[in-house]
């Protein structure tokens, strides 16, 4: 009889005649369900995330899902509340993705739709406060990630946000199986609010961008530093502008967009034409890393950071990091691949920038190599995925059958 191909990517070359010629039962993997033999069941982990932004939390979640998707011990999928950059990136990475649009629904309707989407999940992983409430209403066991401390809000919006955060922390304290904090600082903040038994510190990891992006030697890069961030108050970008105004010749690229863009552009103009010529507002760039690979340093001027993806990307490309006194960033560097400054005074920052410009080529290249080594030893996506998988095993109900391995998947390309 003619051979008929069975279309299962995880069983390449399988044909119907081969199936009929064997006495062994055919087992085709089905996500999140018992397979032909209960012993080969793997759990289905569903990530629930808004996807309305494309910032550090979304990028970190994408990299985590890519790495988890290659592991043999679980299946993963994403339920996203908004069509956008994240949903598109997840599909491109071959992550099973379902968009449940929140914009066209009230909250009760959204909760019902999300509950249907999460049915059959062995564990739900929620990101941010709205997703926490939806995870509770899904009826599935759940964990959450605290990507950072809440940003400050004022006025009526501040009152509303404090109510949301209060509800979020209450649900995490009473109902979450575990809550992941992306830095030790965030865990310290979280532990006092939900108790020490539920929080755990697990840092982010990312795919290595150096696989697809070639970074020149530090000494061959132009005299340019950069910011990679949303233009919001918590990022403190005015510090970068004011400090660069006290230097000569050094250029600044500001990659990102947000509500403060006009105010920041006006601040540059206030410093005069010399600075206007040296500062570029790039706006949102969906693929900013070739720029980062040509900077002498990434400036992290934030008032608060958890475990910023931009720092990991910068280290991976051999771009040293210049940061203020941020515990999360200091813990990431551990004295290698950059500088932690003691305060937020523009004079302190401009002095360090001038010293950086004056570095001998050999010293600058060594600093760049330290940054790269710091990334490869600590921040790979596979390491983060294995740590998260261990947490999933701990968080799933005790009667969960032990998962067995399925074929390892090929690595996906870096973002």
Angle at 127 between CA 121 and CA 131, to 5 degrees: 70
Tell me: pLDDT of 393 over 70.
Answer: yes
Element (H or E) spanning 91, and its range? helix 85-92
The pTM is what?
Answer: 0.81
Tell me: pLDDT of 27 over 80.
Answer: no
For residue 272, what pLDDT is reported? 95
**Residue 158 banded pLDDT, cuts 50, 70, 90:** confident
The answer to whether the 40-206+380-395 and 209-378 domains have the same CATH topology is: yes
Residue 103 DSSP class:
T
Q: Which residue has the higher pLDDT, 203 or 29?
A: 203
Kindly report, residue by residue over 64-123, the tens digit of the pLDDT: 999 999 998 999 999 999 999 999 999 999 999 999 999 989 999 999 999 999 999 999
**Residue 40 banded pLDDT, cuts 50, 70, 90:** low
For residue 39, what pLDDT is reported? 54
Phi/psi at 158 (5° precision): -65, -40
For residue 366, what pLDDT is reported? 97
Kindly report, residue by residue over 203-219, the tens digit of the pLDDT: 999 999 999 999 999 99
Contact in structure between 204 and 384 (CB atoms under 8 Å): yes
Length of the chain (residues): 415
Tell me: pLDDT of 34 over 70.
Answer: no
Structural domain spans, the chain: 40-206+380-395, 209-378
Tell me: pLDDT of 412 over 70.
Answer: no
**Strands, sheet with 279-283, edge to edge from the N-terminal-most edge strand:** 279-283, 251-255, 224-228, 297-300, 321-323, 338-340
For residue 151, what pLDDT is reported? 75
Tell me: pLDDT of 413 over 60.
Answer: no
Distance CA 49, CA 44 (A): 16
What is 209-378's CATH number? 3.40.50.2000
For residue 398, what pLDDT is reported? 66
DSSP line for 305-335: -SS-HHHHHHHHTT--EEE-S-HHHHHHHTT
Tell me: pLDDT of 15 over 50.
Answer: no
Q: Between β-strands 199-201 and 179-181, what pairing exists: parallel, antiparallel or unpaired?
A: parallel
If DSSP codes are grouped into helix, strand and coil, which group holds residue 296?
Answer: coil
Q: For the purposes of burial, counting CB atoms within 10 Å of the CB of 286, is it exposed (0-12), middle (13-18) or buried (19 or more)?
A: exposed
The percent of residues in the chain predicted with pLDDT above 90, rounded, is: 77
If DSSP codes are grouped into helix, strand and coil, which group holds residue 104?
Answer: coil
**Residue 9 banded pLDDT, cuts 50, 70, 90:** very low
Tell me: pLDDT of 18 over 70.
Answer: no
Kindly report, residue by residue over 281-305, the tens digit of the pLDDT: 999 998 999 999 999 999 999 999 9
Distance CA 414, CA 62 (A): 10
CATH topology of domain 40-206+380-395: Rossmann fold (3.40.50)
For residue 22, what pLDDT is reported? 39
Structure tokens at 167: 């509800």
Residue 102 DSSP class:
S
Tell me: pLDDT of 384 over 50.
Answer: yes
Kindly report, residue by residue over 307-351, the tens digit of the pLDDT: 999 999 999 999 999 999 999 999 999 999 999 999 999 999 999
Contact in structure between 252 and 228 (CB atoms under 8 Å): no
Contact in structure between 409 and 57 (CB atoms under 8 Å): no
Distance CA 413, CA 69 (A): 13
Residue 409 DSSP class:
P
Q: Which residue has the higher pLDDT, 382 or 27?
A: 382
Distance CA 66, CA 71 (A): 9
DSSP line for 150-200: PPP--HHHHHHHHHHHHHHHHHHHHH-S-EEESSHHHHHHHHHHH-TTTEE
Return the percent helix, strand and coil in the chain, to nearest 5. 45, 15, 40
Task: Encode burial over 367-387: b for 16+ CB neighbours within 10 A, e otherwise.
Answer: bbebbbebbeebbbbeebbee
Please give the mean pLDDT across all residues of the chain. 87
For residue 212, what pLDDT is reported? 95
- Mean pLDDT for the stretch of residues 1-25: 38
For residue 30, what pLDDT is reported? 42
Residue 235 DSSP class:
G
Tell me: pLDDT of 198 over 70.
Answer: yes
Phi/psi at 254 (5° precision): -110, 105
The percent of residues in the chain predicted with pLDDT above 70, rounded, is: 86
Phi/psi at 321 (5° precision): -115, 130
- Mean pLDDT for the stretch of residues 16-38: 40
Angle at 182 between CA 181 and CA 183, to 5 degrees: 95
If DSSP codes are grouped into helix, strand and coil, which group holds residue 338?
Answer: strand
Closest CA to 370 of 284, 274, 297, 301: 297
Closest CA to 65 of 404, 372, 392: 392
**Residue 2 banded pLDDT, cuts 50, 70, 90:** very low
Within 10 angstroms of residue 263's Cβ, the number of other Cβ atoms is 12
Alpha helices in 334-406, H assignment, sequence order: 346-357, 361-378, 381-395
Contact in structure between 43 and 32 (CB atoms under 8 Å): yes
Kindly report, residue by residue over 167-181, the tens digit of the pLDDT: 999 999 999 999 999
């Amino acid at each position: 009889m003619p051979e008929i191909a069975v279309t299962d990517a995880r069983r390449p070359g399988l044909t119907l005649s081969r199936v009929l010629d064997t006495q062994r039962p055919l087992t085709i993997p089905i996500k999140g369900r018992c397979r032909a033999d209960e012993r080969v069941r793997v759990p289905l982990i569903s990530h629930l995330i808004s996807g309305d932004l494309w910032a550090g939390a979304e990028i970190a979640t994408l990299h985590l899902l890519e790495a988890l998707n290659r592991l043999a011990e679980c299946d993963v999928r994403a339920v996203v509340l908004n069509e956008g950059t994240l949903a598109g990136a997840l599909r491109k990475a071959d992550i099973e993705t379902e968009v449940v649009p929140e914009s066209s629904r009230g909250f009760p309707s959204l909760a019902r739709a999300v509950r249907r989407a999460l049915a059959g999940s062995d564990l739900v992983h929620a990101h941010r406060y709205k997703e926490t409430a939806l995870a509770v209403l899904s009826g599935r066991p759940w964990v959450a990630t605290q990507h950072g401390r809440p940003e400050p809000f004022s006025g009526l919006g501040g009152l509303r946000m404090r109510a949301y955060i209060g509800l979020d922390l209450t649900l995490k304290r009473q109902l979450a199986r575990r809550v992941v904090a992306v830095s030790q600082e965030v865990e310290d903040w979280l532990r006092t609010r939900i108790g020490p038994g539920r929080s755990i510190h697990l840092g982010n990891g990312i795919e290595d961008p150096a696989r697809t992006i070639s970074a020149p030697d530090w000494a061959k890069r132009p005299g340019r530093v950069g910011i990679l961030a949303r233009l919001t108050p918590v990022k403190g970008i005015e510090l970068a502008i004011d400090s660069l105004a006290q230097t000569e010749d050094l250029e600044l690229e500001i990659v990102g967009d947000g509500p403060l863009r006009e105010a920041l552009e006006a601040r540059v103009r206030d410093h005069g034409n010399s600075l206007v010529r040296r500062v570029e507002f790039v706006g949102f760039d969906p693929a900013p890393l070739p720029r980062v690979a040509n900077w002498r340093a990434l400036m992290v001027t934030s008032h608060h950071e958890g475990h910023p993806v931009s720092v990991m990307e910068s280290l991976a490309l051999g771009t040293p990091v210049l940061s203020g006194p941020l515990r999360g960033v200091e813990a990431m560097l551990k004295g290698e691949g950059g500088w932690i400054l003691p305060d937020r005074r523009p004079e302190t920052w401009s002095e360090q920038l001038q010293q950086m410009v004056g570095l001998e080529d050999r010293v600058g290249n060594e600093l760049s190599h330290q940054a790269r080594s710091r990334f490869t030893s600590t921040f790979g996506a596979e390491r983060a995925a294995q740590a998260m998988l261990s947490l999933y095993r701990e968080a799933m109900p005790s009667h969960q059958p032990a998962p067995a391995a399925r074929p390892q998947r090929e690595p996906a390309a870096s973002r």
